[in-house]
Amino acid sequence: MGALTVEVFDTKKSPRSIAIIDNVSPQSTVLELKKKVAQKKKHLSVDRQSLRTEAKGKSLKDEQTLASLGFDNGKKAVLYVKDLGPQVAWKTVFLAEYAGPLFVYPIFYLRPSFVYGEAASRPVSDVATLALICWSIHYAKRLFETQFIHRFSNGTMPLRNLFKNCSYYWGFCAFISYFINHPYYQLPSFGLPQIYIGFTGFALSEIGNFSIHVLLRNLRPAGTKERKIPFPNTNVFTEMYNYVSCPNYTYEVYSWVFFSLMTQSLPAFLFTVAGFIQMAIWAKNKHRAYKKEFANYPKNRTAIIPGLL
């Protein structure tokens, strides 16, 4: 099997050739080829490249070899590269989007007079204090999980996503905190029972969410992309896997439903709805991928809401 000459074209400026790479083994992977392209085109770092066999085709996986793509006859191979633009690590984005709410929320709890005027001196309600505690625990947990629990590949996302994601989380945080900590905030209609039910449900949901994240960490060996079917372990909170494919999203939604109940806050409810819509999309995609990849995948599971969705 002879060496190949690989010519790489720009997808946006085709048929403009941007690199010719000689003496490439057919067993070379897409990732190895990306590194060679990066050597010739310094602005095209490995993370910025999306290689494909057609200008408008699907992006090739890093582990695919040239031989597996049909380039094994010792002749010229033609590939196309799309510049994905400036990239940032997933972990960096998560740390930034979760750190913001942890620091923005307390600003309104402290009742700055430039925000609330003369009414800022009114007493802060116990519900507002409890909401601050719940909010802080949630985002401190997220930061801890990002740093120590979640396993990240070397994957990246476009830099613009950093600003988009931070705007979403930080903006909703300010929106929610402004009203819950407002001097004229109205207490929940059903008093202490509503508050206690909301707080208890929130706390249990947070424990459930953390339990699922730990299970998923233990399911995938470090440094691999190995995928397995997740099943419940001895932790009772993982029993949710008997009903849904993405119980981490299920518990996340439950957390915000109970937070909204506890605070009786419309902004918190809107945040819950927005989060549910996005998580439902992610869960359905993951559920579909599980069923496609594993022939023995449990048929009784739904994506995110037991028995419904």
Q: What is the pLDDT of residue 289?
A: 96
Q: Are 225 and 176 in contact (CB under 8 A)?
A: no
Q: What is the pLDDT of residue 225?
A: 72
Whether the pLDDT of residue 221 is over 80: the answer is no
pLDDT band of 202, cuts 50, 70, 90: very high
Averaged pLDDT for residues 113-123: 96
Averaged pLDDT for residues 232-252: 98
Closest among 263, 235, 83 to 176, alpha carbons compared:
263
pTM for the whole structure: 0.91
Averaged pLDDT for residues 184-206: 98
For 70, the token pair is: 């049909």
Whether the pLDDT of residue 208 is over 80: the answer is yes
Averaged pLDDT for residues 242-252: 99
Whether the pLDDT of residue 154 is over 70: the answer is no
Closest among 297, 308, 174, 141 to 228, alpha carbons compared:
297
Q: What is the pLDDT of residue 95?
A: 97
pLDDT band of 227, cuts 50, 70, 90: confident
Omega before 247 within 30 of 0, i.e. cis:
no
- SS3 state at 298: coil
- Which has more pLDDT, 259 or 17? 259
Averaged pLDDT for residues 195-205: 99
Q: What is the pLDDT of residue 14?
A: 60
Q: What is the average pLDDT value for the chain, to the nearest integer? A: 95
- Which has more pLDDT, 223 or 277? 277
Q: What is the pLDDT of residue 226?
A: 77
Averaged pLDDT for residues 73-93: 90
Q: What is the DSSP string of 153-219?
A: -S-EEEHHHHHHHHHHHHHHHHHHHHHHT-TTPPPPTTHHHHHHHHHHHHHHHHHHHHHHHHHHHHH
Structural domains in the chain, CATH included, are 4-85 (3.10.20.90), 88-293 (no CATH)
